[in-house]
Structure 1
Amino acid sequence: MLSYDAIQRPELDQWSFTETEFNPLAQGKCESVMSLGNGYMGLRSATEEAYIGATRNLFVNGTFNRFDDFEVTELPNAADVTQVELLIDGKRFTLETGSVTDYARTLNLRDAELTRSFVWESDQGKRIRLEFRRFVSMHDRHLIGMKLQITPLDEGISLRLASGINAQMSNSGSQHFHEGEKRIFDKKYLQLIQTTTETKVDFVLSAQHQFWIDGTAVELAPQMEIERRKMEMAYSVELKAGQTLEMQKLIQVHTSRDSDVHDAGNLESLRTRSLETLKKSGATGYDRLFEQNQQAWASLWDRYHFEIESANRFDLLALRFAIYHMMVMTPVHDRRMGIGAKGLSGEGYKGHSFWDTEIFILPFFIYSEPEVARTLLEYRYLGLEGARRKAKENGYEGAMYPWEVAWPSDGEVTPVWGAVDIVTGKQTKIWSGFIEQHITSDIAYAVWHYYQATGDQKFMDDYGYEMIFDTATFWASRLEWDEEASRYEINEVIGPDEYKEHVDNNAFTNYMAHFNLQLALQYYDELKTRNPQLLSHLDSALSLQHYAQEWQEKAAGIYLPKPDERGIIAQDDTYLEKRILDLTPYKSQTKVGTLFQDYSLDQVNEMQVSKQADILMLFYLLENRFAPELKRANYDYYEPKTLHDSSLSFSTHSILASDFDDKKLAYELFRRATEIDLGPHEHSSDAGIHSASLGGIWQCVVMGFAGVRMLDGELHLHPKIPGKWQRLSFPLYWKGSLLKLNITKDQLQITTDSKDEIHLVIEGKKVSFTGQLQFEMIHI
């Protein structure tokens, strides 16, 4: 059970949340939502002592491997470094025996520290206080720190403590590593080498233990053990009542893909560095290392400083939770790596990147730290190799981006088989990797969005134009001519609503493809006059002169579904003809997918039931193409038919509700989005946190409640903060200038250090200012 106001330290109010009771049948929740990381690696927060049902994960970004030819590549689960076995008076310590009081496991978002403490009473009546601390350093991306304190309260105890490096791990049964070399140096330093079976990525993990009793350093003689895929040190000590044993464990993690390590591909060099940095860390000590981590996080929080004055104190905590996880899962250090759909918090979706990044997470970085947004888009540029290969393999031209991607050049890595069919009992085929193709235009849209908001011309010259031109070429080759209707169509696809497979003319897909084609034409014409030398270079590589004529023809002839007499745009050719189902029993579900306990996917495919926002997403991304009354009519039609079984859905509906001035609904949907991971549902996050939803939470606040939009290259603001909020403030980058916004019910204040004049559109009025602006709002 999670508590959001069990604050043990007042300064952490709205900065932390606490598990107040340990439930061995629901371990996945806290393992995921309390996971630690720094973008380089992610550490799932399993307890130190082992339990059946626990999932112990350590992932290093970008180290993908394929178990065999019948499976797809995934982030391999590296050796476990956090398990500690405690024997107290000869019996294994576990919370499943004895009794527990004062239990609290807390994630401190401000400092990125996981703590756990409680008093445990053994079956023999001995009371012992145990305290655990853990962090993954934001200062040294290769460092994990752990601290354990044990204090017998009433009587002395005999304690045996065993800790080490355990490579007897897998990804749900798939073992990604060779046996590897294990060694203990000077009876103090453990080092294990793992190498992935297919991609041959070397992992080097080094660890050491240090001990204190009542604050005085002690040397405990270890019992050293090495066995298959595992090595550990065991220590024994007698503790008197009131004495405190403290163990500090430091771990260094390196791989041959480390971009910050010279000669990382040389294993001997890498293992030497790992051992040397471990020794330096040991000399520095846990406390100082943690202070360095605190300072690094303080700098980040200063950069992303939000303030919310709300009647519901959970709101600010939820936003900080979202930003925290976007920090721990984003590989800011290496453009060869993307963001997994579960971040680095669990095995869900195998560490693969989806459209989640470009549509839901990237806007946070575009407006908060544009340099990181650029890095994430460069990852997609490096993926052109795989995108072009996928297009060719499917009989198309240009760049057809994979639905799921791992290492950028790998191409399509979506699994082929998924969950059970409730009718046939067989596994259902996952068609997304074959026919969910809108991701190609989603990436082109993201390039355009970044460029419009930042003005980063060098990025466009080096990468952006090429991406937009080659994705447009794909769509031109993908379109099919319907002779009878005299138009180009896109048939046999899946749109954002994945409960509708093999549909023709999904409105989102068609409109976004049209956007992609028009964008390519616009930039082609611009480069003719602005940079003909660059255009000539791109033409020689991409045959632009040939394809530009085709873009023009196809863009003019593509079918764009129009509203019917009710103002409803059909999600696809047959959606409005399908059976209508009363979704009331499923709308109140506490677990997604309950519909499939009663119906198969084939049956759902024939109903007016949507998994998530589909055509409504189109109204958000291309909003100035659609009239407000049209958007509202479609919202009223599709919302009752949407189950929000995707974590991507609530935020889009919330933002549109803000656009409609429905503050109550917008806030309700925002709250539902915040509770996907951080809420009370015990198993919502077992496979990992929901990356896109976290980006969506930020968008609810900034794009929804603050009304921030980029339209036609201009920054628009139309604040509509919820009734429960009194004030909202946050930073925002626009074309290289940092703006600090402060919004109340009736006033918008913006300050900037930029000497340039800032041009905005506020509540439809064009405004220019330097230094500071105070705007009295009319539309509240």
Structure 2
Amino acid sequence: MLNYNKTLPDGASGWVVTEERFSNLALAKCEAVMALGNGYMGLRSAAEESYVGEKRNLFVNGTFNRFDELEVSELPNAADVTRMDIRIDGKCFSLDQGEVKAYSRSLNLREAELVRTFIWNSGDGKELEFTFRRFVSLDQLHLIGLKLEVKVLRGPVHLSVASGIDAQVSNSGSQHFHEGEKRIYDKTFLELIQTTTESKVDFVIGASHKLKVDGGTVDLAPAMEIDRRKVAVAYSLNLEEGQTLTLDKVAAVYTSRDKQFAGNYSLPAMRAEVLDVLKTAHESGYETLFSKHAAAWAKVWENYGITIESGNPFDLLGVRFALYHLVAMTPAHDNRMGIGAKGLSGEGYKGHSFWDTEIFILPFYIYSNPQIARSLLEYRYLGLEGARSKAKENGYAGAMYPWEAAWPSDGEVTPVWGAVDIVTGEQTKIWSGFIEQHITSDIAYAVWHYFRATGDVDFMEDYGYEIIFDTAVFWASRLEWNEAQGRYEINEVVGPDEYKEHVDNNAFTNYMAHFNIELAMQYYKELEQNQPELFARYNKLLNLHEAYGIWESKLDLIYLPQPNERLIIPQDDTYLQKEIIDLTPYKDQEKVGSIFNDYNLDQVGNMQISKQADIMMLFFLLENKFSPEVKRANYDYYEEKTLHDSSLSLSTHSILASDFGDKTLAYRLFQRATEIDLGPKVHSSDAGIHAASLGGIWECAVMGFAGVRMLDGQLHLAPKLPEHWDKLAFPLYWQGQRLEISITPQEISICSTAGQPVSLFVHGQLQEVQSTAIFANL
């Protein structure tokens, strides 16, 4: 369905994702996969003309709203600026009618532009060539540019185009906005105001149009329309054969939640700014605005550029696709905002942040752009308010992070009810918001990971220590004493494997809680000894003296499941006693979750079936705690029982396969990860792209094939390239320095761009790089 072999006009390959045939069945996939964004906002790539089944989404990061008391907070679907009502000789234009030739819709990853072209024959002798272009500016975060070109190949025709701002949209039926004022200034500049119903966030959206025929400006007064939740203009004119109409459209989007308005906001002032920005952009036009946008993306690729010389060209495109969407979804402009599990490409998961960010996306930023990594962790620091509220509501102390997070102070926003139970017909309760608690230690781990890789002491003093201390306070209060066993346990939880609910002593949860408390104790001692003033501040805030006594009394009594006689660590207390079934029918499935066509969640919970990496994730994060023999035995045992029904799973298994030297399996799992969104499955991305998987793709390449790890505060590099890869090169930040790393099957080249010496382990041997060094790739 999608083609990846198209080149850019300058001949560059590996940059283009192309739909070569229009299909109503593939609307949602292409809308998500080809979504545009700049971290401030995301625009789903629905076609300009309307089709049944389309999803027109425009999300502005951080603007969460709760539709009513029975629903959770979600990113509201803002007014649409992309739809155009095009009529040819009075008839609505649609690709469902007439004959379509030379169809192509392409996402240019390098310049982040969506281009759609085709020739359309009306069936009554009229033929036109259409070109649609679109971008969401990375240069000016509030701007969207659209361009329509229509050339009459066989005519003449009477053409009309109606375009504007359409707020007659919703989040699958939930309307998050009050209807606001609408204006048209000078018959050119459109304005629509929306205000969210509960959070009271104001949106001001402006749009303007510029019409040309054969390159010359047309002085044509439009018909103007202001309707309920809608403002638009319409242009109508006659075109002769050979003539070309060009319509430039610019939209500007601002909200009262924008950081520039924090503490100093007035709606009239924001309206004035939007109109001023819109007029300037209107004067500049599409091409000038796009040129600046493309230049901003050129800097992205210069900073993040990764080189892969592979026998399969798709490998490089797959990684570039991941990096493109990571940039498009990440709110690098504002530390009050996180990354949604579907980015900004669809309504899936309501724009909420999960552990996806800390475990799968943050490593990319830690090693590629530490400043953004810090911003994402500051978002979690701001979320301490909601985490403390959740702990208190559940009868615990400290900070208990929500499984799903929205605005930092919102606390837990996981929906309570989910899909239908195939057996009972009842709606399934979503337990993750109640008992999937490992996210608290995942965030503490991410803070530690960032600090050890960057050495950012200021972050730790201002934010990091507080997160680690208060999450450890939570875990100490969460532990349950088992008198018969003489140990502390963690019962009634969901681990990373969400097909196992209400389990006791999930190994991942227990080990990570132990790590969290042990880390807090370590930092307690360091601050007490070396930074008494800082220690005194945190002691006053969190009563660390008392907390340390509790940690010390409990740490060594926390139950950490150990390998059995076959070296298998039980995923939880009962997993290894559950029924084993043949999972072959569900391993190569068209759509994830196909096992629930035959069983309900309770039945799956009583079988040795894992949704995703669980024990394997533990080996990846805390690998120094387990021997290679234990890791390999568990990998062999659990891999065949893992359905990878979560997009988070494949990358972890790929990285571990690389560690074991199984290059074939590691590459196959990497390839499957790249195909979650880009592969042939039509409905895999309907609700949006898979944000964590995209971070995982980078992890496969850099932490798997290149073997990059931070172990005990030291940088390690142990490459195991796939057999058909001739080269892998990428930038890597370590302790404030940018390294340029290039790996071939024969050698490893490391260049310190700052010219400062850096120490790291290469294939287990400690090496010091002064400026540039080359090592044999063993």
Q: Which range, TM-score by smaller chain? A: over 0.9
Matching residue of 1:361: 361
1:348 and 1:277 map into 2 onto residues whose CA distance is: 32
Matching residue of 2:197: 197
Q: CA deviation at 1:754?
A: 2.1
Q: Is the 8 A contact 2:304 2:731 kept in 1?
A: yes
Q: Is the 8 A contact 2:25 2:682 kept in 1?
A: no
Q: CA deviation at 1:263?
A: 7.1
1:652 and 1:256 map into 2 onto residues whose CA distance is: 40
Q: How many residues align?
A: 778
Which residue type is aligned with residue 650 of structure 1? L
Matches within 5 A, 1:741-760: 741-760=741-760
Which residue type is aligned with residue 322 of structure 1? A
Q: CA deviation at 1:724?
A: 1.1
Which residue type is aligned with residue 655 of structure 2? I
Deviation digits for residues 217-240 of structure 1 (CA, Å, limit 9, x no counterpart): 112211101111011101101000
Query: What SS does the corresponding residue of 1:153 show, helix, strand or coil?
Result: strand
Matching residue of 1:119: 119
Q: Is the 8 A contact 1:495 1:506 kept in 2?
A: yes
1:760 and 1:149 map into 2 onto residues whose CA distance is: 55
Q: Is the 8 A contact 2:7 2:15 kept in 1?
A: no
Matching residue of 1:282: 282
Matching residue of 1:606: 606
Matching residue of 1:213: 213
Query: What SS does the corresponding residue of 1:634 show, helix, strand or coil?
Result: helix
Matches within 5 A, 1:563-578: 563-578=563-578
Matches within 5 A, 1:406-425: 406-425=406-425
Q: Is the 8 A contact 1:255 1:264 kept in 2?
A: no
Query: What SS does the corresponding residue of 1:397 show, helix, strand or coil?
Result: coil
Q: CA deviation at 1:11?
A: 3.1
Question: Which structure 1 residue ranges, 4+ long, deviate > 6 Å from structure 2?
Answer: none
Matching residue of 2:150: 150
Deviation digits for residues 402-424 of structure 1 (CA, Å, limit 9, x no counterpart): 00000001000000000000001
Q: Is the 8 A contact 2:8 2:15 kept in 1?
A: no
1:497 and 1:263 map into 2 onto residues whose CA distance is: 43
Q: Is the 8 A contact 1:263 1:270 kept in 2?
A: no
Matching residue of 1:89: 89
Matching residue of 2:732: 732
The two structures have a TM-score, normalised by structure 1, of 0.99
Bigger drift between 697-706 and 122-131 goes to 122-131
Query: What SS does the corresponding residue of 2:14 show, helix, strand or coil?
Result: coil
Q: Is the 8 A contact 2:650 2:669 kept in 1?
A: yes
Q: Is the 8 A contact 2:194 2:202 kept in 1?
A: yes
Matching residue of 2:45: 45
2:455 and 2:527 map into 1 onto residues whose CA distance is: 15
Matches within 5 A, 1:670-681: 670-681=670-681
1:472 and 1:262 map into 2 onto residues whose CA distance is: 32
Change (3 A) 1:214 1:290: same
Matching residue of 1:349: 349
Q: Is the 8 A contact 2:617 2:652 kept in 1?
A: yes
2:20 and 2:10 map into 1 onto residues whose CA distance is: 17
1:265 and 1:604 map into 2 onto residues whose CA distance is: 52
Query: What SS does the corresponding residue of 1:748 show, helix, strand or coil?
Result: strand
2:554 and 2:723 map into 1 onto residues whose CA distance is: 47
Q: CA deviation at 1:86?
A: 0.5
Matches within 5 A, 1:534-613: 534-613=534-613
Deviation digits for residues 296-341 of structure 1 (CA, Å, limit 9, x no counterpart): 0001110001110000000000000000000000000000000000
Deviation digits for residues 704-752 of structure 1 (CA, Å, limit 9, x no counterpart): 0000000000000000010010001000000001000010001000011
1:595 and 1:9 map into 2 onto residues whose CA distance is: 45
Matching residue of 1:432: 432
2:592 and 2:553 map into 1 onto residues whose CA distance is: 43
1:670 and 1:182 map into 2 onto residues whose CA distance is: 49
Q: CA deviation at 1:165?
A: 0.4
Q: Is the 8 A contact 1:471 1:516 kept in 2?
A: yes
Q: Is the 8 A contact 1:454 1:735 kept in 2?
A: yes
Deviation digits for residues 217-267 of structure 1 (CA, Å, limit 9, x no counterpart): 112211101111011101101000010000000000000011135876210
Q: Is the 8 A contact 1:15 1:317 kept in 2?
A: yes
1:728 and 1:105 map into 2 onto residues whose CA distance is: 30
Q: CA deviation at 1:125?
A: 2.7
Query: What SS does the corresponding residue of 1:128 show, helix, strand or coil?
Result: strand
Deviation digits for residues 39-76 of structure 1 (CA, Å, limit 9, x no counterpart): 00000000000000000000000000000000000000
Which residue type is aligned with residue 44 of structure 1? R
Q: Is the 8 A contact 2:663 2:721 kept in 1?
A: yes
Query: What SS does the corresponding residue of 1:224 show, helix, strand or coil?
Result: strand
Which residue type is aligned with residue 60 of structure 2? V
Query: What SS does the corresponding residue of 2:647 show, helix, strand or coil?
Result: coil
Which residue type is aligned with residue 343 of structure 2? G
Matching residue of 2:227: 227
Which residue type is aligned with residue 551 of structure 1? W
Matching residue of 1:629: 629
| Unaligned segments of structure 1, at least 5 residues | none
2:725 and 2:169 map into 1 onto residues whose CA distance is: 47
Deviation digits for residues 131-151 of structure 1 (CA, Å, limit 9, x no counterpart): 000000000000000000001
Matching residue of 1:165: 165
Change (3 A) 1:467 1:594: same
Q: Is the 8 A contact 2:702 2:708 kept in 1?
A: yes
Matching residue of 2:654: 654
Matching residue of 1:772: 772
Q: Is the 8 A contact 1:707 1:720 kept in 2?
A: yes
2:488 and 2:739 map into 1 onto residues whose CA distance is: 44
What percent of counterpart residues are identical?
A: 65
Deviation digits for residues 624-644 of structure 1 (CA, Å, limit 9, x no counterpart): 110011100000000000000
Is 1:257 the equivalent of 2:278?
Answer: no
Matching residue of 1:384: 384
1:171 and 1:285 map into 2 onto residues whose CA distance is: 32
Is 1:75 the equivalent of 2:75?
Answer: yes
Is 1:246 the equivalent of 2:246?
Answer: yes
2:25 and 2:301 map into 1 onto residues whose CA distance is: 34
Matching residue of 1:397: 397
Q: Is the 8 A contact 1:754 1:770 kept in 2?
A: no
Q: Is the 8 A contact 1:207 1:251 kept in 2?
A: yes
Q: Is the 8 A contact 1:256 1:264 kept in 2?
A: no
Q: CA deviation at 1:10?
A: 4.7
Is 1:645 the equivalent of 2:645?
Answer: yes
Which residue type is aligned with residue 744 of structure 1? T
Q: Is the 8 A contact 1:193 1:205 kept in 2?
A: yes
Change (3 A) 1:645 1:454: same
Matching residue of 2:104: 104
Query: What SS does the corresponding residue of 1:106 show, helix, strand or coil?
Result: strand
Q: Is the 8 A contact 1:12 1:110 kept in 2?
A: no
Q: Is the 8 A contact 1:257 1:264 kept in 2?
A: no
Change (3 A) 1:262 1:277: farther
Q: CA deviation at 1:209?
A: 0.4
Matches within 5 A, 1:365-514: 365-514=365-514
2:217 and 2:148 map into 1 onto residues whose CA distance is: 14
2:420 and 2:261 map into 1 onto residues whose CA distance is: 45
Query: What SS does the corresponding residue of 1:721 show, helix, strand or coil?
Result: coil
Is 1:320 the equivalent of 2:320?
Answer: yes
1:242 and 1:554 map into 2 onto residues whose CA distance is: 81
2:581 and 2:33 map into 1 onto residues whose CA distance is: 34
Q: CA deviation at 1:777?
A: 2.1
Q: Is the 8 A contact 2:752 2:769 kept in 1?
A: no
Q: Is the 8 A contact 1:440 1:471 kept in 2?
A: yes
Q: CA deviation at 1:126?
A: 1.4
